[in-house]
Structure 1
Amino acid sequence: MDRGLFFDGKWQFPPKLERFDISDPATGDPVGSTLLADREIVDRAVTVAEKAVPVMAASHADERAAMLVRAAGLIEARVEDMAVLLTREQGKPVADNRKEIIFGAKVLRYYAQEAVRIGGSLRPAMAPDIKNIVSYHPVGVAAAIVPWNYPVDLYCWKAGPAIAAGCPLIVKSPPETPLAIAMLVDCLHEAGVPQGAIADLPGHGPVAGAALAAHPRVRVISATASIPAGQDIMRNAAGNLKKLCLELGGNAPLIVMADADLEAAARAAHRRSFSNMGQICITVNRILVDKRVHNAFVDILAGLTEDTRLGHGVDAGVEYGPVLNQSVIDRVEAHQHDALDKGARLVAGGHRPAGKTFDNGFFYRPTVVDNAPPDSLPMRSETYGPLAAVAAFDTDAAMIAMANSLEYGLAAYLYGADLERLWAVADRLEFGGVGINVNDVSELQAPFGGWKMSGIGRELGPEALDAYLEQKLVKMRVRRI
């Protein structure tokens, strides 16, 4: 599949653009390619989107809701083909990709419902002959930057609220995983999104992403990215004071209390550490365990990790696939060696698997290091790969200080039996989402985002609409009778 760029209501193949080749990370086999957008193409897409601003703003909420519902239905009808294609370009097993894509469709359906709830209010006035009417209006041309780890799902996280609010949307999609996205774009187009109101431009961040962030006629940008990329976006967006919604990096702690169900906690830690080979912003990087149960917990986690079955994600029964590319393996090995050099102990994994199945792919065994020092790389930096580091704590105060010690503040997890104690600890944790006896902090109807350097703004829930709407006060003097 050799795809082009989508803008002005159609697929286009502008000449003289660079083309990016996509290979299956499990085998190295070619899968397809995509054109890469440059600054000129970004400007052309913005010009077209501007023409769609009044069309989208004038559309009725029911129309926009119907578009989103139709798009969701088309996605659901094509989920199997999309899931297999996404596995071949990104590596996650088909079952995981199926879940991702179905959740993306649910996101669109949710924002179809929210579209018809965008209203206003009559506010109190200081004088009896004054009426204050507060209304909400689409901000204008919106831009989004989507990552390669969950490209379909996170595309929907941005397209759903943008369309619901009535904003044309230009997406810089990831060049590493643009093929399943192309199927998603077809679904949005076939669902009736107006000409110019959706554009999909795969490209590199420093080129296409920077052009969108700096463009003076783009009014809001939503990005899921690393902290350095988010900082660049913020600097580029300052020129016209764009609205920002940035979901950035994380280094999530999972905290295991002495009274936790250790088997359940270890299974949760294993899944959240190694799902998608740790290439998730809310992956567990640091596991902080009460010293009274530390050894028992590590034994269980090490056993689960050693039993992890790797393989090509299209094969039946495979739960864990390859990482995306060699750079992920290099980073994991660097973090692992740093921890071991500083005194940590390797208890599981730590090497590339042997065998014909793995010879041509980017496979690495899920890895656990114990007694990781606080200054070791996996304890202080986002690994974004299949490596989990364990450390012990002896008091709640020490544990909370360890958890809050980094610049990250996206997600944290707590496992234990004393819910009042867990709630008290959760109140002290400096994270946008805290899971208590659950290893996920995303919920369709609740806000998702980070504290500190992990982001600005929120996605999901009704809060996601805030980035795409402007408020207006109409203050009106009325005749008194």
Structure 2
Amino acid sequence: THADARARLLHRAADLIVERLPAIANLLTREQGKPIPDAEKEIRFGVEVIRYYAEEGRRLGGSIRAAARADIRSLVVSSPVGVVGAITPWNYPVDIYAWKLGPALAAGCTLVVKPPHETPLAIGLVVQCFIDAGLPAGVLNDLPGTGPEAGAALAEHPDIRMITATASTAAGQSMMRAAADGMKRLTLELGGQCPFVVLDDADLAEAASAAARRSFSNMGQICIAVNRILVADAVHDQFLEALAAETERIKLGHGIAPGVAYGPVLHEGVRARTRGHVEDALRRGGRLVAGGGAPSGDEYDRGFFFRPTLIDGATDDALVMTQESYGPIAAVRRVRDDAEALALANALPYGLSAYVYSRDLERAWAFAEKVESGAVAVNVNDTTELQAPFGGWKLSGVGRELGTEGLMAFRETKHIKIRLRGAAG
């Protein structure tokens, strides 16, 4: 198909998603738990992604390169990579679905998608929008199932030329091994254990508010969430007091109820892991500052609720400081200076996102250049931008999504060299 035809179809599908947004958001909240406003925001961003790639696909092109001889012309072109196997997560099922579907279709690929078995329903409504927009049969295929079964089938299948997945590090490693024999292209956005650094000249009120949002949005169930907060010793007490106040202000409720901003976690497994990380930190000498368990009250009997939890003084070997909690827990750790903050930030084998707050942009820039992370946010608590590439270093993944890089990930490059007989050699 021509790029313009693909773009028109993507825009038609996006229009239908917007038209059906209330129904999709309602279903997303019921299966995932996030409040309706968050579900609507997720879907709207997914629509932005689809529209962005509809237009980026129109701009696909090639180039003519300089050659060593006058009778040679050197052309660089690209073509679709082929059939793509996509694996999407349960925490932002519609949004991340768009991250993979939008650029793959814009690039001219067909897809076999394994939706998350925990939250497959809202995605089904999105798929229907593409069908109703006129997507030909066989271009987009849903493959329900659990990760070990469906994911392995995709990674091992000889007709799949690329795997794109958002998953845990362990799942990504398994997919990489399964895809090795077929030498498949990989884009893997995997786990993060993201450091949030507060230098001694930071705006503490701003940093505390930002840290609370980054730690507890979607109940910490997001790859760029913050579990470990590294704070300069000189401002530790003041920052901790401000962050504790922000944490205590958070009120939980059922996502479907009006006015709710923070809901439950996905299931008991997430709640149990969060509780385990809290108990481990306290056993190792950490001090509970806020939260620490499930809220009390009849209104919380139905739902997997866990109060946003703040711990001070967790040791460097605590689970909350070394593993991705994927729940509503954050731990504050004192640091002597910028050098110790950087060393601790780089100490783990993960590198998805990092955050630094400072009024001195030279200090912040020095940290941003040296921290081992695929994305760094300075005085802002979000590392994603639709027009910029996103992806991890080290065990946090390979490849990039979003931006033009996210589109070209689904294209194969070819060099065509031509000799012109009539040109001088």
Q: Shared topology, TM-score over 0.5?
A: yes
What pairs with 1:169-180 in structure 2 (closer than 5 Å)? 169-180=111-122
Give yes or no for the alignment of 1:448 onto 2:390. yes
Q: Pick one of 40, 43, 49 that aligns with 1:98.
A: 40
After superposition, give the CA deviation of every residue in 1:265-298 in whole Å (9 maximum; x if it has no partner).
1110001100010000000111000111101111
Q: Distance in 1 between matches of 2:63 and 2:136?
A: 29
Given residue 3 of structure 2, which amino acid in structure 1 is its aligned partner? Answer: A
Partner of 2:17: 75
Partner of 1:236: 178
Q: Which of residues 72, 84, 101 in structure 2 aligns to 1:142?
A: 84
CA distance in 2, matches of 1:395, 1:233: 40
Aligned residues: percent identity? 58
For 1:151, the equivalent position in structure 2 comes to: 93
What residue ranges of structure 2 are gaps of 5+ in the alignment? none
Q: CA deviation at 1:261?
A: 1.2
Secondary structure of the residue that 1:267 maps to in structure 2?
helix
Whether 2:3 is the aligned partner of 1:61: answer yes
Runs of 4+, deviation exceeding 4 Å: none
How many Å apart are 1:314 and its aligned residue?
A: 1.2
Question: Are 1:414 and 2:362 counterparts?
Answer: no
Of 200-209 and 441-450, deviating more is: 200-209
The one of 361, 366, 386 aligned to 2:328 = 386
For residue 217 of structure 1, give the secondary structure of its aligned residue in structure 2: coil
Which residue number in structure 1 is paired with residue 128 of structure 2?
Answer: 186
Secondary structure (helix, strand or coil) at the match of 1:240 reads coil
- Post-superposition Cα deviations, 1:361-394, rounded to whole Å, max 9, x if no partner, equal 1000000000111111100110000000110101
User: How far apart, in 2, do the equivalents of 1:425 and 1:360 lie?
Assistant: 44
Is 1:88 aligned to residue 30 of structure 2? yes
Query: C-alpha offsets along residues 425-470 of structure 1, whole Å, 9 cap, x if unaligned?
Result: 1101000010101000010000000001100000000001222111
Contact preservation (8 Å) 2:88, 2:96: yes
Aligned to 1:23: none
2:103 to 156, 161, 183: 161
Q: Which amino acid aligns with 1:332?
A: T
Equivalent residue number for residue 367 of structure 2: 425
TM-score scaled to structure 2, two decimals? 0.98
Partner of 1:305: 247
Q: How does 1:347-386 map to 2 (within 5 A)?
A: 347-386=289-328
The Cα shift of 1:360 comes to: 2.0
Contact preservation (8 Å) 1:373, 1:379: yes
Name the counterpart of 1:249: 191
Whether contact under 8 Å (2:254, 2:260) holds in the other structure is: yes
Q: How does 1:14-33 map to 2 (within 5 A)?
A: none
Query: For 1:149 and 1:298, how far apart are their aligned partners in 2?
Result: 28
After TM superposition, list the pairs within 5 Å mapping 1:274-353 onto structure 2. 274-353=216-295
Equivalence for 1:271: 213
3-state secondary structure, aligned to 1:171: strand
Deviation (angstroms), 1:81:
1.2
Contact 2:194/2:353 (8 A) holds in 1: yes
Verify: 1:466 aligned to 2:408, yes or no: yes
Name the CA distance, whole Å, in 2 between partners of 1:446 and 1:191.
Answer: 28
Displacement after TM superposition at 1:93 (Å): 0.5
Tell me, in whole angstroms, the C-alpha distance in 2 between the residues paired with 1:262 and 1:346.
Answer: 21
- Measured in 2, the distance between the counterparts of 1:443 and 1:171 equals 24
* Equivalent position SS for 1:206: helix
1:261 alignment partner in structure 2: 203
Q: Give aligned pairs, total.
A: 423
User: Under a length normalisation based on structure 1, what TM-score does the superposition of the two structures give?
Assistant: 0.87
Residue of structure 2 equivalent to 1:405 = 347
Question: Can you list the C-alpha shifts for 1:171-228, whole angstroms capped at 9, x where unaligned?
Answer: 0001111111011001111122221000112210100111001101100010000000
What's the RMSD between the two structures over aligned residues? 0.8
